[in-house]
Structure 1
């Protein structure tokens, strides 16, 4: 009887052990299937970043390091007065928050995967943790780039499109805007001095749309010749030019090299908020503008300057 009980106990132990082994094997298989699914779906996470935890992104590209700081808008740490394109920076943040690899592989001897001269190095700080992604060569067949994280031996294959938004120079990350902060409809009066020394003064005037009309419209007149009719298209172009967006910014430009020692036109623009002085010049590389109270030099196009360089006679 005792022998039979010992046999049953032994068999029970075997059954329990087999059950435990089966459970472990099932768990391992599930983990393997999950890992395989992640690889197949391209969902191997490389970063743990959210919009709330991101503290800064430092991108090394084409010999330039740009450190982007999120906040109420984006700030460039190396040049805080530089006007960044917030939308472009938001795109970078979105790409980092969804940074996943398609595959991972062990580095093979003799292969550098482009890491000796990387195309891009991205240092991401989030929740106090810093992660470095080194982007190497692009696989011409798959369209993926090779990525190394924190100098580890593992090499990841990541869709090259994930990094396209980060392959931008400082000039390319500039956000176009109107430095004077005015719109054409805000302007109430204008006085500008041409390079020749001629001073043109304009005033907005409200007048009836017709002889018997009770409706009014705003028209522009020369201050010293209020009865002279002006070309509406030219005055509209003039006002639009003053409110137009600039295309570039240099916070430490050489004013002399930009031609501000002999400007093409200096405009005093009056709005309800006060008077701003906008100065336009031609330099060695194009046309530039400065705004009173702002040390930056901004790039503008030739059409903008041409619209402003109108004599009083040409406005008629």
Structure 2
């Protein structure tokens, strides 16, 4: 290449570089500055009520809007919600269901408090709307609220577009207003919600324990019937055995059911129930309340495309609801008798106990204490009756009684043994007897031998018919009368043997 040609090539390269720098200066600096200048900063509420920013005659701001209706269009569907008289929200379309409280509160809070951050276009063209995702909105929310004082209804419809990938904001338009605004990205997160997101996932409950009278379960490994005690507070096992039931365990079962959250809500039909195995369920349970229709709950397990799924059908009267639930839901009600049986060692009411007789064992004399009502009609104090008489250590006796009330077995042993002696339990065993005001025995505890290979555990006999394994240190029963007898004042404290002070 000749020198003149080389010079020409170099000149052209320099010219191109200069042009590139010019274009960079325009598109990289000048044009963004121009666009930024066109984005007018604004601070206007999304839900702009006519009284926004106004003050009443006392100079106070108007009350916050109280939302009563919401219509949300997102993910190709429309969800309608209404506020109930008690303040809760309910999905009214496309289904009737309780609303997901957190999702609705996030939506109403965003509508009431969030503001546009900038005006992007004052008079957008169709091409502009297409660019911002607002020609066919990504989501729309129509919100009706009670505003102002005196209160009146006001409705606002917002349309959301695409996300600005530069700062995460979302393009928004308000119906009746031609402008395109920018709003914080959190606005899209709160408002762009489909029907599944807006309805509650806790559909197996509510099953309020105090209102139920019976619970019948047929599961894969276990079947049982629980019935309310005649007193109306506790529970008892009716089948497969007749035993006191663990009230805490029953309440925990119902809580665990309530906490199961739906993964999806398939369309319910006779064909769908058959296909999903609900006509031959793995778990079939019936909850009968004191008033109203029983609740039937069926759970099935099927394999779809190599994946195991669990479905639940909740029916009450004419209402039914089908949902997919986690696989762990199958095990919630499938529990055995040992888990359902009451693990309390003694069944009694603490306020009924008026007398305690402690048996130290080993042939030692029993220690009897009794509650004596005070002259003021109060709760009374404890006094030692035998083998000595005197005022008892009130806190000590109350502590022992409290320990006996909360004493629970760590495990169940032999059911209804023919011989208690092999467990070291007899009438001469260490233990305690609890009596009522009429001297009637309310409960009795016997403590026996240590449990083999379980340090710190001993065999026990309580209010039930079975051998129990309990902690040897849970309750400290008095071994001698001095353990509960209040010591008399010493001479230094002015006791009976103190030397009388001389008369001045």
- TM-score class, shorter: 0.5 to 0.7
> Could you list the per-position Cα deviations for residues 72-129 of structure 1 after superposition, in whole angstroms to 9, with x for gaps in the alignment?
3223232452121133213212211234212223356653322234322223345555
Cα deviation digits, residues 41-65 of structure 1 (max 9, x gap): x412443347656453222111111
Aligned residue for 2:446?
none
The size of the alignment, in residue pairs, is: 266
Match of residue 47 from structure 1:
47
Kept in 2, the 8 Å contact 1:241–1:305? The answer is no
Contact 2:163 / 2:171 at 8 angstroms: preserved in 1? yes
Query: Aligned residue for 2:193?
Result: 168
Query: TM-score normalised to the size of structure 2?
Result: 0.44
Deviation of the 1:307 alpha carbon = 3.0
Residue 261 (str. 1) matches residue 279 (str. 2): yes
Distance 1:221 1:179 in 2: 23
Which structure exhibits the higher relative contact order, with contacts defined as CA atoms closer than 8 Å and separated by 6 or more residues? 1
Structure ID, larger Rg:
2
Structure 2 segments unaligned to the other structure (5+ residues):
1-39, 50-62, 146-151, 303-308, 342-504
Partners of 1:51 and 1:120 lie apart in 2 by 25
Q: Partner of 2:138 in structure 1?
A: 119
Contact 1:83/1:249 (8 A) holds in 2? no
Unaligned runs of 5+ in 1: 1-38, 207-216
SS of equivalent residue, structure 2 residue 97: coil
After superposition, what is the alpha-carbon deviation per residue over 1:208-264, rounded to whole angstroms, capped at 9, x for unaligned? xxxxxxxxx96754535336x999998776555455554367495123334321122
Q: Secondary structure at the residue paired with 2:217? A: strand
After superposition, residues 1-316 of structure 1 pair within 5 angstroms as 40=41, 42-49=42-49, 52=65, 54-72=67-85, 73-79=88-94, 81-104=96-119, 105-107=121-123, 110-111=127-128, 112-126=131-145, 130-150=155-175, 152-177=177-202, 179-184=204-209, 189-194=214-219, 199-203=223-227, 221-226=237-242, 238=253, 240-242=255-257, 244-247=259-262, 250=265, 253-254=268-269, 255-270=273-288, 272-273=290-291, 276-282=294-300, 285-293=309-317, 294-310=319-335
RMSD (CA atoms): 4.0
